[in-house]
């Protein structure tokens, strides 16, 4: 990232905190956000579409000697899941707010339009991590049960290429302890997964 910026703006990168943004120039105005959603230090660049190809090509040229490899959205989704990060459209939606799914800390003590109404909503679900064995990955929408009783569903799931076993995030009823085995319906076949704390992977744990 440093190589993309003019010398006079590289110091902005050093002081940019997580979930903070600043405005820089890369052949034109660019908004730089330290919001890389992979669990690693990452950045997002926002610019007019007319500048995108130029910035992309410059990044590929600068990063070539360091082994920079372009990747797609599926790679990002796998990495954010290993980091245990909720994603809108999976763990959250128009009908599921952070308070609904045990993620109230994401918006706690922030004043915004709708904060009062959000604070009044009861917590119906909680978010859990699940780990399995083998290579069959549970996917979003798979039903989860405990002792024959339905307790929730998978919101995101993948076979982790880093850890080499299946991992998932699940929306389930509150009060289930780590280490509890649950049954997941994976394409019509019951598969045992175990409730596990997340992140599943971090540089401090591996």
CATH of the domain at 98: 2.40.30.110
Q: Give the burial class of 49: count Cβ atoms within 10 A of its Cβ; 0-12 exposed, 13-18 middle, 19 or more buried.
A: exposed
* 180 pLDDT tier (thresholds 50, 70, 90): very high
Same domain, 44 and 84: no
This prediction has a pTM of: 0.82
- Round to whole Å and give the CA distance between 67 and 125: 42
Q: Which residues contact 165 (CB under 8 A, 6 or more apart)?
A: 131, 132, 133, 134, 159
Least confident of 47-56, 67-76, 78-87, 96-105: 96-105
Q: Of 46, 66, 86, which one is at a domain's C-terminal end?
A: 66
Same domain, 53 and 130: no
Instruction: Answer yes or no: is pLDDT of 72 > 90.
Output: no
How high is the pLDDT of residue 36?
A: 78
- Render the burial of 71-91: b for 16+ CB within 10 Å, e for the rest: eeeeeebbbbbbbbbbbeebb
Find the domain containing 92 and state its range.
77-196
């Amino acid at each position: 990232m440093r190589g993309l910026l003019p010398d006079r703006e590289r110091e902005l990168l050093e002081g940019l905190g997580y979930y903070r943004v600043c405005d820089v120039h890369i052949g034109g105005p660019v908004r730089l956000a330290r919001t890389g959603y992979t669990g690693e230090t990452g950045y997002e660049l926002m610019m007019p579409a007319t500048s995108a190809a130029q910035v992309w090509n410059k990044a590929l040229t600068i990063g070539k000697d360091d082994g920079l490899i372009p990747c797609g959205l599926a790679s990002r989704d796998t990495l954010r899941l290993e980091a245990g990060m909720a994603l809108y459209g999976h763990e959250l939606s128009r009908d599921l707010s952070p308070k609904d799914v045990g993620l109230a800390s994401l918006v706690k003590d922030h004043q915004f339009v709708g904060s009062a109404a959000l604070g009044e909503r009861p917590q119906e679900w909680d978010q859990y991590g699940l780990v399995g064995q083998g290579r069959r990955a549970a996917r979003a929408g798979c039903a989860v049960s405990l002792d024959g009783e339905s307790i929730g569903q998978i919101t995101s799931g993948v076979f982790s290429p880093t850890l080499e076993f299946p991992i998932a995030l699940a929306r389930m009823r509150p009060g289930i302890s780590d280490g509890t085995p649950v049954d997941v319906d994976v394409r019509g076949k019951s598969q045992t997964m175990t409730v596990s704390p997340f992140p599943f992977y971090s540089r401090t744990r591996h």
